[in-house]
Structures are given as C-alpha cells and as structure tokens.
C-alpha cells in the first residue's frame, strides 16, 4: 500500500495482521491490520467501542487474538501476557501511572531487577543509575523521594523511562496526557520526540485530536472493530479524521424531511444555567415529541451533560423545569420522581442488575419510585414485564432468568423497558446502540423514533453520526465541555456535524 510506504521511519517493527478478537457474540476486532515502524509515532484513534483498547491489549500481550498474527522484526510471536510482551521489547504506559506511589523514584525505576552487590540490593547504585537514566529525559529530580511527591507528568516520564529501559523496541502510550496540563503535555511530547529520534516505535492513543496532529506521524483509525484507514497525518486535516472516526461513509441517507422544522409540542423540560465545577453551565429546552441528538467526540462533555440532567452529579446552581414547573433534580431519585429516565453509557456498571431477573430489572425503577412499602405484586410484575418485553421485543427464554445471560442488545432493551415502565416524560439515552449487534441497533433507532411519535422528549447521545441524523429533530454539538453549535431542520447533515465538531481543533492549528 502506498500509504505504508510513506511511513517516515524505517522498517516495520511490530506488525499485526488480520487480528480477530471475539467476546461472546461480539466481534471486538474483525480482521484488523496494524504496523508500527521504527522511529515513528503512530496514533491510534477511535471512539469508545471501536476496538482501540482491545487492539492495544493484543499488541502488548494482555489478550491473545482469536485469529491473526503478530510479528516482531518479521518473526511471528505469540505473547502470553504483558510481562512476556515486555521481554520482547514491548512496553506500555497507561493513563493512570501504575507504579508504586509510596516507593522512591529510583526504586520504581529498578523494581524487580534491582542491581545487587554481594547479594544485597545496591542502594547507592540504584540512585546513581536512576539519576543517569532520568537525565537523559531532561529530568533532574531527587530520585530518593517518594514517587507520589511528584506531579503526574513527572510520574508519567518515570513510567516511560522504566518502560523504555525494560523494553526498548515498542512503546505504547495509552492516554498518557489525560491528566496533564498544557506545559506538562509539551514536556512529555519532547520526551516522546527524543525517543522517536532514537528509533523507537511509539504507539500513541489519545482522544485529543490536536495532540495527534502535534505529535504523530501516522494515524490508524478504528471503527466498530475494523480499520477505517492508516494514513500519514501530513495529508489529513481534522475534518477528515473526525469523518473517518464517526461516519461509516458520508453518502448515507439524508436527514428525514419529516423531522425538518415540523411542528413541535410545548416545552417539556427546560434546563437553565445547569453546570458544575469543570462543566460550564448550559441552557437547553426540549419539547414534547422532540429528539435532541448530541454529537461530539469522547471527552467533549456529552456524558457530563447527561449526568447533570439526571442528578447523578448534582448541579451547582441553575434550575430545571418540567412542563413549566420548577423541579429539584439533585440526585437520580429526584430525577425519577420528576419522570426522567436515563440509560447510561456503561450498561454493565451503571445499568443492569446482573443477578436479578429480567422481570425485576424491568420493574425496579417503578418500584423505587413507588417506594418500598407499596410493593408491586407478582402478577403486576409479570404483566408489566410482559407488556414492555413485548413492546420492545426483548428476547429472553424466561423473564425469571438473570438478565446477565441476555445479549447486549436485549440488556439495553431491558433498561429501556425499565424507564418506559415509569411512564416517563423525558428520556436520556447515552450511547444506546454501543456494543450491540446490527439488528438490535436498527431496532433501537426505530424505538427512539416511535417514542418521539408518542410525545416523549428525548436527549440522545451517540457517536454514530448516521444514527443521530436519522432520529434527531435538533442536534447539539459539543466540544471542550460546551455546546458549540445547534443544528436544526435541513441543516442536520453528517458533514455539517463533522465541521462543527472539528471547528476548534482546526482553528488551533491554523
């Protein structure tokens, strides 16, 4: 491939070919190719669920591929675990520094391979060598001090130094800048550039596009477990990258004209000045029978808005009105009392009660709303679960089986059913189609449209642009924790959304 030839560095160091990884029925990676060259920074991009972390875990040995092959310097290798990967020269640095915060910097650098003298740990030697090592990274610190005394940036560099010392061929940086400020990021980048000059192959994972453009030579973009592209960044602009991350292909259906500028009902819910520390206040009114779609990259503040709306994070100031009446939404229980429902992004962690039955999972929110004294009797529960399972076509052998045995799509429908059971006025869906198969995907989109027709107000967050376009009356675009654009009617088109998302990053580069 021409683009492979255009790699700035030298020979391929780590190659992955046709990698397939299957979890249950879900193909997390479906035949992905990836090559890291010596002396390049190779960015790996993709939204949540695209397969980034699965690929990284396979490259570092944490997972074993179901199909496909890894080659290191042309020789096929099979990695049993990350330690094994390390011994081949593949080191990883994670967002959360996983060193020992209560030990000294020097000890952290040499942990597990302390130099010894006469069978004892050579403390003076460790300190001296640690100083020499960090000097190469431009770090002049007291290596005898505890690691936790230093900033995250310094800890990151220590972690990198350790990884490079141990491995030295391939360095995987997994969201290393997530908790760094601007100057610290620059400092880290200088270190990475130095390592690149030394001929290391560096794989860089982040969701900050401007950092990708600032540091990386090539980019590989994943989407839904497949590789969309591998290209030199010099030939790309932000819009191209966003488009590849979000859009399947840009030729898909236009915004359904039925949604364009149609008559809207009265305002159902209104948020005024809702915000909190790190999340600037926002205003938003959602009408009866309206779907407000939310587009934006990971980390743009999409989920934070949803959490504020539902009281998961209590807002500092601002007011919420439902049908014109002020309501208090300081916690989820109050949100439920106000008729709100929320299908969270992380189904397993925040959504389902794995060991409880399908029936119990469906009735739980209504039961919580009724309070513990007014118990739904068994017959009512069966009726409710049956009704909503039928309406949403939940496929389960029995409603008494634990919900954890259902597929992801059916679990998502169970959570949706849970909220429909409280007869909600306003529904928040955070990535409702993530991690579910294509068939269930289409059903969820149809359901969203049906709920809108029935007069519900919906706030739907999605990384799938075609989806957002297909059901939204209005699209709010988020960037850097703010709502930066609002598209309505005919203006709702994937291209326009991509432009709006890319906005800032492009300006920053200009």
CB nearer to other proteins: give 250 or 382.
382
Question: What DSSP assignment string belongs to 312-369?
Answer: SS--SS-EEEETTEEE--SSHHHHHHTTEEEE-S-IIIII--TTSBHHHHHHHHHHHH
Separation of alpha carbons 497 and 495, rounded Å: 5
CB nearer to other proteins: give 214 or 364.
364
Question: What DSSP assignment string belongs to 439-491?
Answer: HHHHHHHHHHHHHHHTT-EEEEE-S-HHHHHHH-SEEEEEETTEEEEEEEGGG
In whole angstroms, how close is the CB of 319 to other proteins at the nearest point? Answer: 20
389 binds other proteins (CB under 8 A): yes
Axis-axis angle for helices 378-391, 358-370 (nearest 10)? 110
Burial of 167 (0-12, 13-18, 19+ CB in 10 A): buried
CB nearer to other proteins: give 160 or 312.
312
In whole angstroms, how close is the CB of 341 to other proteins at the nearest point? Answer: 9
Q: In this chain, which of 229, 327, 376, 491 binds other proteins, going by CB under 8 A? A: 376
CB nearer to other proteins: give 71 or 369.
369
Element at 288 (helix H, strand E): none
Q: In this chain, which of 201, 396, 456, 476 binds other proteins, going by CB under 8 A? A: 396
In whole angstroms, how close is the CB of 233 to other proteins at the nearest point? Answer: 39
327 binds other proteins (CB under 8 A): no
CB nearer to other proteins: give 146 or 313.
313
399 binds other proteins (CB under 8 A): yes
Residue 257's contacts (CB-CB under 8 Å, 6 or more residues apart) are 490
Longest CA span, the chain: 85
CB nearer to other proteins: give 132 or 400.
400
Q: In this chain, which of 119, 266, 374, 453 binds other proteins, going by CB under 8 A? A: 374
What tokens were used for 212? 């990708």
In whole angstroms, how close is the CB of 399 to other proteins at the nearest point? Answer: 6
Range in contact with other proteins (rule: CB under 8 A) among 91-99, 148-156, 279-287, 375-383: 375-383
Residue 175 phi/psi, 5° resolution? 50, 50
Range in contact with other proteins (rule: CB under 8 A) among 89-97, 160-168, 266-274, 325-333: 325-333
In whole angstroms, how close is the CB of 297 to other proteins at the nearest point? Answer: 24
In whole angstroms, how close is the CB of 367 to other proteins at the nearest point? Answer: 5
| Binding to other proteins in span 275-314, by CB under 8 A | 310, 312
In whole angstroms, how close is the CB of 382 to other proteins at the nearest point? Answer: 6
Separation of alpha carbons 292 and 308, rounded Å: 16
Residue 5 has a CB neighbour count (10 Å cut-off) of 7
For residue 274, the SS3 value is strand
C-alpha angle with apex 461: 460 to 467, nearest 5 degrees? 80
Range in contact with other proteins (rule: CB under 8 A) among 136-144, 241-249, 329-337, 438-446: 329-337
CB nearer to other proteins: give 271 or 310.
310
Q: For the chain, how many residues are written?
A: 510
CB nearer to other proteins: give 134 or 336.
336
| CB 3, CB 179: distance < 8 Å | no
Separation of alpha carbons 432 and 241, rounded Å: 24
In whole angstroms, how close is the CB of 460 to other proteins at the nearest point? Answer: 17
Separation of alpha carbons 59 and 40, rounded Å: 16
In whole angstroms, how close is the CB of 435 to other proteins at the nearest point? Answer: 16
| CB 501, CB 294: distance < 8 Å | no
CB nearer to other proteins: give 145 or 375.
375
Separation of alpha carbons 346 and 77, rounded Å: 34
CB nearer to other proteins: give 395 or 509.
395
In whole angstroms, how close is the CB of 461 to other proteins at the nearest point? Answer: 15
Residue 315 has a CB neighbour count (10 Å cut-off) of 21
Element at 155 (helix H, strand E): helix 152-166
Burial of 299 (0-12, 13-18, 19+ CB in 10 A): middle
Separation of alpha carbons 210 and 508, rounded Å: 8
| Binding to other proteins in span 407-436, by CB under 8 A | 418
| Binding to other proteins in span 333-372, by CB under 8 A | 333, 335-337, 342, 344, 349-356, 360, 364-365, 367-372
Number of residues that bind other proteins (CB under 8 A): 43
400 binds other proteins (CB under 8 A): yes
235 binds other proteins (CB under 8 A): no
Which residues would be at the binding site for other proteins (CB under 8 A)? 310, 312, 331-333, 335-337, 342, 344, 349-356, 360, 364-365, 367-376, 378, 382, 386, 389-390, 396-400, 402, 418
């Amino acid at each position: 491939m021409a683009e492979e030839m255009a790699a700035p560095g030298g020979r391929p160091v780590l190659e992955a070919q046709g990698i397939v990884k299957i979890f249950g029925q879900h193909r997390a990676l479906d035949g992905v190719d990836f090559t890291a060259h010596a002396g390049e920074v190779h960015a790996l991009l993709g939204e949540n669920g695209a397969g980034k972390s699965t690929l990284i875990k396979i490259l570092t040995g944490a997972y074993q591929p179901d199909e496909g092959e890894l080659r290191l310097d042309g020789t096929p290798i099979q990695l049993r675990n990350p330690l094994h990967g390390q011994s081949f020269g593949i080191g990883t640095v994670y967002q959360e520094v996983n060193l020992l915060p209560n030990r000294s910097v020097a000890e952290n650098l040499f942990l597990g391979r302390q130099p010894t003298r006469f069978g004892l740990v050579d403390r003076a030697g460790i300190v001296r060598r640690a100083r020499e090592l960090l000097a190469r990274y431009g770090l002049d610190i007291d290596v005898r001090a505890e690691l936790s005394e230093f900033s995250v940036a310094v800890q990151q560099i220590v972690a990198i130094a350790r990884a490079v010392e141990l491995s030295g061929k391939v360095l995987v940086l997994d969201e290393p800048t997530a908790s760094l400020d601007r100057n610290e990021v620059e400092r880290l980048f200088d270190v990475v550039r130095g390592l690149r000059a030394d001929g290391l192959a560096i794989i860089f994972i982040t969701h900050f596009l401007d950092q990708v453009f600032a540091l990386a030579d090539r980019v590989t973009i994943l989407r839904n477990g497949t590789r969309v592209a591998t290209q030199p960044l010099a030939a790309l602009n932000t819009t191209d990258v966003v488009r590849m991350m979000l859009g399947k292909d840009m030729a898909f259906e236009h915004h359904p004209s039925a949604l364009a500028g149609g008559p809207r009902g009265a305002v159902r819910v209104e948020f005024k000045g809702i915000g909190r520390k790190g999340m600037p206040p926002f205003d938003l009114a959602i009408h009866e029978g309206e779907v407000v779609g939310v587009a934006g990259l990971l980390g743009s503040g999409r989920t934070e808005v949803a959490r504020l709306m539902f009281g998961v994070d209590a807002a500092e100031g601002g007011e919420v009105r439902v049908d014109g009446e002020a309501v208090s939404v300081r916690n989820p229980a109050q949100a439920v009392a106000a008729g709100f429902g929320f299908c969270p992004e992380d189904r397993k962690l925040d959504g389902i009660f794995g060991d409880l039955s399908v029936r119990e999972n469906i009735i739980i929110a209504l039961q919580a709303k009724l309070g513990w004294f007014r118990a739904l009797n068994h017959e009512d529960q069966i009726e409710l679960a049956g009704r909503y399972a039928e309406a949403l076509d939940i496929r389960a052998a029995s409603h008494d089986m634990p919900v954890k045995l259902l597929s992801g799509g059916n679990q998502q429908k169970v959570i949706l059913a849970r909220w429909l059971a409280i007869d909600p006025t306003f529904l928040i869906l955070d990535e409702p189609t993530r991690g579910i198969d294509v068939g269930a995907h289409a059903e969820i989109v149809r359901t969203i449209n049906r709920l809108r027709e029935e007069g519900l107000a919906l706030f739907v967050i999605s990384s799938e642009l075609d989806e957002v376009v297909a059901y939204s009356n209005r699209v709010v675009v988020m960037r850097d924790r703010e709502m930066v654009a609002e598209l309505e009617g005919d203006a709702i088109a994937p291209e326009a959304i991509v432009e709006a998302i890319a906005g800032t990053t492009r300006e920053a580069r200009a």
